[in-house]
Chains A and B, each alone.
Chain A
Amino acid sequence: MIHKLLIANRGEIAVRIIRTCRQMGIRTVAVFSEPDRGALFMRKADEAVALGGARPDESYLRQDAIIAAALQVGGDAIHPGYGFFAENAAFANACRMAGLVFVGPSAEAIALMGDKLAAKNHMQKVGVPVLPGADLSTIPEDALLPTAEKIGFPVLVKAAAGGGGKGMQVVRDKNNLADAVAGAKRQAKAAFGDNRVFLERYIDAPRHIEIQIFGDSHGNLVHLFERECSIQRRHQKIVEETPSPAITPALRAEMGAAAVAAGKTIGYEGAGTVEFILAPNGEFWFLEVNTRLQVEHPVTECITGIDLVRAQLLVADGAPLPPELEKPVSRGHAIEARLYAEDPSSGFLPTTGKLARFHVPARHGLRVDSGVVDGDTVSVHYDPMLAKVTAHAPTRAEAAALLADSLSRSQIHGLVTNRDFLVRLLQHPDFLTGATDTHFLERHSPVSLGAPTLTPAEERLHAIAAALTTQAHNAKNAKAFPSIPSGWRNNFSAPQQVQFIGTHGTITVAYRICRDGSASVTATTQSDTAPDAARAQEAAQPGTPENSQAGSNPQAGPNADLHTTHSESPESPESHEETVHFSLPYPEQLEMQTNSVLRRYSVHCTTVQEEQCVFVDSPLGHAVLRVRARFPDATRAPDPGSLLAPMPGKIVRIAAAPGDIVKKGQVLIVLEAMKMEHTVHAPEDGQVAEVRVETNEQVETGLVLVVLHTDTQETETTNS
């Protein structure tokens, strides 16, 4: 019997494993890195052992420390979760050597399936269909092209030791082959310390179908239906579901049989996944076996009612397959969406920072697997997944609707996430008809799927809600005149004014609270794309005579400069004064009636990266409004010519030194984030004035990397 389980992982999967352990009366032990001190999974575990460091190799990849931790607290088993040691044969062996139960398959099975080429060869031998391909480590360089041509373009270049999209590249043009192979080798070397790559046939419009298999130590092995994970970005899964809309019962039986056959040849124990690629014509080929619990296992659990972690623990303990696995039944449809801190509009770059609020509504049929809570920091160190949200409903359409609705009603504040992107994706007609091959996001632009949900007019409504709520809080918390009506004047000269920076520009809300408690409000959007430029302009030119109307117009704002900016705007910002009836039945909840429609706005004011922000959620959508400071601090603007980190990451290469004369487009800095290399180029010809970072330094978004003195800048300086 397992009495105490150490979970050699972090985040949501650790939380999820702990949940089952609680059900089974198994004590839990977490291990944690320094950045994870205080994280949810660590607090949920009965005991937690510090591993030190931030980088995985300093913490979650310290095999000896983890095994020692298990022994130290008297644990009798280790669950590796996914990632880290999940598919590491040496670790599995080491656990067993230390007398600990490793919750997973045999080290042999892991080793065999871990080598993608060996796995393919093995499967080919036992009659499972595999894609034509070639191991490039055995092929001389001059034979590269002929080999690729034999396989047939397009080809996929893939790291032998890889997974999760690392070092993968599609080559359609034979002229690009050599470069792609070299790049893949470099990345594979960097990521896995193994530069072996292989080629395989690339299928257009394929679907990614995987079969959940489950075996025990008594030679039983079953499949628990398929999962479709075709919608991927950067070769990483983003929406997973079961059953697949592309699978007929016959095909399911066929693929299931192939998966079971594959599992049986390697004597698979525990939970595993056989991945296939499915062509539009129903042909399928073996891709690989994941010898672990998959990230997307909740969809299978939803439709079968099976707790896969429980089954894993029972089987690892030597028990035969639990009876419900022998005759699994599929009920309804489940869709999982992975909620990430990432920006779909900029190539899914990860975002970091404080998660000011994370709240997914509780719904029947909705499952949330998350490792984060309000106030957690999403750091550069680990995968920026916030949660897996899974909807289970009688039909696919209902599951999609439930998932989209729940996501849209979630409060996710403080970070840019892919939430709106997921919602639009789940509501997309192509998704709803089941047209979900792996090229879905090539046909449907992530930028438009992730575009702002609110129109400028709707965003203004949210800004009004933010202003009125802030106003009520200001009045309530005022120490000087705590119960006097907000903003009261015996001689009115100008409305109260607050400015927000939203998606569509700078929104100015001018309001006056009337005697009956309603507000007289004017909201305008200054749809400039560069608020900082506007700020600079204001500072330089606070007002011009032709735009100053305050003398004749008592409604003019208190800020002459802002008023001016508005009047100058070529696209006249919509602005009309209206009476808004509102109340705050709860501190963060504003009921506001505009144009005779009453809506409820949830208004959350907080500070994100030293900036006052207001997050407004309503039936119309979500607004993130950065409060424009009343007294902008001129000293905080970055130096002209500063090149900022586009995303959090690690500096891998510095290609410029102070004093260097650089050409426009020249690479200055290379940083790696989320397994991808990003380059910072010189925007203009110029001279490098400063380099503010070092190689291997971790940087946050917005950090100044390089200061460049450009020629245009010089001209400007001399002119002024």
Chain B
Amino acid sequence: MLNQLAALHDQQQLLVQGGGAKYVRRHRARGKLLSRERIELLLDPDSPFLEFSTLAAWGTEFHVGAGIVTGMGAIADTVCVIIAHESTIRGGSMNPITLKKNLRAMEIARENRLPLVNLVESGGADLPTQAELFVPAGELFRNLTRLSALGIPTISLVFGNSTAGGAYIPGMCDYTVMVKERAKVFLGGPPLVKMATGEDADDEELGGADMHSRISGLSDALAVDEHDCLRIGRQIIANLHWKGSGPAPAYTQAQSPPYPVATPAPTAHATSPPRSILSADTFTEEPLYDTEDLLGLASCDLKIPIDVHEVIARIVDGSRFDEFKPLYGSSLVTGWACLHGYPIGILANSRGILFSEEAEKAAQFIQLANQVAKPLVFLQNTTGYMVGKAYEQGGMVKNGAKMVNAVSNSQVPHLTIIMGASYGAGNYGMCGRAYDPRFLFSWPNHKMAVMGPEQLAGVLSIVARQAAAAAGRPFDEEADTINRQKIQEQIEAEQIAFANSSRLYDDGIIDPRDTRTVLGMCLTACHMTEVHGTETAYGVFRM
């Protein structure tokens, strides 16, 4: 696990280094801040920041991180989504994976009603990949104005080039600030204008910050420098007085801690009564068990199931968990808890396999959560629904369908953590990517595929053998061995965490010890909009 975390750290540090020392130097030589420095200054002091899709484009021809930084943090006490072009990587240009990552961040802003801040400095499309990019990229601009139409403010702070199609980022945002002598926003630069109309114009005339602030009106404020731009951006957010519409976290009252709290003895210096720094009004209970242990829990061989009670005890408030139906369908643990003060329902695979009982228990529990509008957290470690004659005859598909149905139509926010295995329809039932969880993060040890590499290769082999037999051909054992080996290696490579994260099948790989923090931030985001369950004319079906 520590090796995996080190590998994750190494990959993420690549992102921090942007386009490499040479480009960073050049960027700074121009007196510019790096995208991450902009983000750090934009955020409130000491605000947390959850970066999304850090390993996007891992293992591809593109830079890991896909040349863009997206994430969620607090600006002027407001939970915001930030999208920043990494201008030291190919001038901040956009490739198909950049687009995907950008769109995902916008989706997070939309679903959770979070103001969106774009830190713009991009050369536009990565031209060699334009065929895959140009047409779908239109969604970027469409989404900006749709966010606005949904009443979600969008802000663009323009630090550099934002030309051609890119000009529509500031164009489509509700608020736009441009940095003097740096921001350049135009549809066509001097050479293109010359070619198109024969007009001679310099880029300041075509799209300078000063021009846009005084003449075209595209810019709402002219910032004297980058710091000023970020200051104005923070002020814009402050002026929104953005309030979440979901319920606030129900913090435990400090007056009656459920367990003895060590209170330091008053001293001669004390001028006010003793008070914990996280006191009275904002008191959350940390888990009673050490989150460090999650490293060990996650390190297990995927063939050995994790006792998910041990995981829950390390992520929920006060390690308190009220289990629902503990004696029924016990391969799937369901129950209620609080996390950073937010009441939640948890569905967690305790033994990898889902049987009919587990599927029905899940369907019932999801309905119960919807009835009282509680967000659901899925802790995935599943090898899928049970197969075999007895189970098929016992209605495994029918019962599994109940669970998939419930997950699909549940309206409460879903948060998914992939802790280990995520195979087969278990991925669906446990709210995998296709089931639109609000957020989905995974641990670095996770593996996700339709089935395990051995099984998949074996299945293919059996099918081939059957086909050969049906056709009356002799079966080439040697070729089959090689083939099996090859397929197994391919799936082995595809099912690992980095590969899945590269495809944005999750919102990022996290250190298991950060699970509680990540879920806490995600729950905060989810509660920025109303939390409601599915409306149904029926009662909760007992299954």
Contact = CB atoms under 8 A, between A and B. Distances in A.
A558 B46 contact: no
B225 to A, nearest CB: 7
A494 B28 contact: no
B29 A481 contact: no
B284 A483 contact: yes
Q: Which of A472, A476, A483, A498 has the most CB of B within 10 A?
A: A483
Contacts of B21: 551-552
A548 B24 contact: yes
A545 B29 contact: yes
B227 A475 contact: no
A462 to B, nearest CB: 16
Contacts of A492: 12, 16
Contacts of A558: 36-37, 40-41
A544 B29 CA distance: 5
Interface in B1-50: 12-13, 15-18, 20-21, 23-26, 28-29, 31-34, 36-37, 40-41, 44-50
Nearest to A487: B46
Interface stretch (A135-143, A581-589, A666-674): A581-589
A484 interface: yes
A373 interface: no
B476 to A, nearest CB: 49
B16 A482 contact: no
A145 B71 CA distance: 85
The size class of the interface chain B forms with chain A is 35 or more
Interface in B283-297: 284, 291-292
Interface string B209-230: 0000000000000001111101
Interface residues of A, number: 55
B335 interface: no
A493 interface: yes
B329 to A, nearest CB: 33
B47 A478 contact: yes
Interface in A379-400: none
B498 to A, nearest CB: 14
B525 to A, nearest CB: 9
B45 A539 contact: no
B277 A551 contact: no
Nearest to B45: A474
Contacts of A481: 47-48, 73-74, 79, 520-521, 524
Contact of B272 (A359, A476, A587): A587
B267 interface: yes
A543 interface: yes
Nearest to B34: A550
B264 A585 contact: yes
B47 A480 contact: yes
Q: Which of A491, A584, A630 has the most CB of B within 10 A?
A: A491
Contacts of A545: 25-26, 28-29
Contacts of A471: 45-46
A537 to B, nearest CB: 13
Contact of A489 (B48, B269, B279): B48
Q: Which of A481, A515, A548 has the most CB of B within 10 A?
A: A481
Nearest to A489: B49
A600 B45 contact: no
A480 B44 contact: yes
Contacts of B231: 630-631
Contact of B275 (A586, A630, A631): A586
B51 interface: yes
A195 interface: no
Interface stretch (B143-151, B462-470, B508-516, B529-537): B508-516
A483 B264 contact: no
B117 to A, nearest CB: 14
Interface string A343-368: 00000000000000001010000000
Contacts of A542: 31-33, 225-226
Interface string A483-509: 111111111111010100000000000
B517 interface: yes
A475 to B, nearest CB: 5
Contact of B277 (A479, A485, A587): A587
B236 to A, nearest CB: 14
B54 A482 contact: no
Contacts of A496: 45-46
A631 B79 contact: no
Contact of A490 (B225, B226, B277, B518): B518
Interface in A437-490: 470-476, 478-490
B511 A490 contact: yes
Contacts of B17: 551-552, 554
A493 B46 CA distance: 14
A593 to B, nearest CB: 14
Nearest to B50: A490
Given A481-B74, A483-B278, A558-B40, A488 B271 contact: no
Given A486-B46, A560-B37, A480 B74 contact: yes
A466 to B, nearest CB: 13
B16 to A, nearest CB: 4
A491 B10 CA distance: 10
A589 B74 CA distance: 26
A486 B45 CA distance: 9
A471 to B, nearest CB: 5
Contacts of A491: 12, 15-16, 51, 54
A479 B284 CA distance: 14
Interface in B73-98: 73-74, 77-79, 88
B44 A478 contact: yes
A485 to B, nearest CB: 6
Contact of A541 (B31, B249, B270): B31
B282 A476 contact: yes
A630 to B, nearest CB: 7
Given A475-B46, A494-B40, A585-B264, A631 B16 contact: no
A587 B274 CA distance: 8
B269 A602 contact: yes
B340 interface: yes
B341 interface: yes
B31 A543 contact: yes
Contact of A484 (B23, B25, B274, B340): B340
A530 interface: no
Contacts of B33: 542, 560
A488 B88 CA distance: 25
A496 B74 CA distance: 14
17 contacts: A474-B44, A476-B282, A478-B46, A480-B79, A481-B48, A481-B73, A490-B12, A490-B51, A491-B54, A515-B291, A539-B225, A545-B26, A558-B41, A560-B37, A586-B275, A587-B277, A600-B269
Given A471-B46, A490-B518, A586-B271, 13 more contacts: A474-B45, A480-B77, A481-B521, A490-B514, A491-B12, A492-B12, A548-B29, A551-B17, A552-B17, A554-B13, A586-B274, A588-B271, A602-B269
Interface of B: 12-13, 15-18, 20-21, 23-26, 28-29, 31-34, 36-37, 40-41, 44-51, 54, 73-74, 77-79, 88, 224-228, 230-231, 249, 251, 264, 267-272, 274-275, 277-279, 282, 284, 291-292, 340-341, 508, 510-511, 513-514, 517-518, 520-521, 524
**Which 9 pairs, one residue from A and one from B, show the smallest C-beta to C-beta distance?**
A551-B24, A480-B74, A558-B40, A488-B48, A631-B231, A548-B28, A479-B77, A585-B264, A474-B46
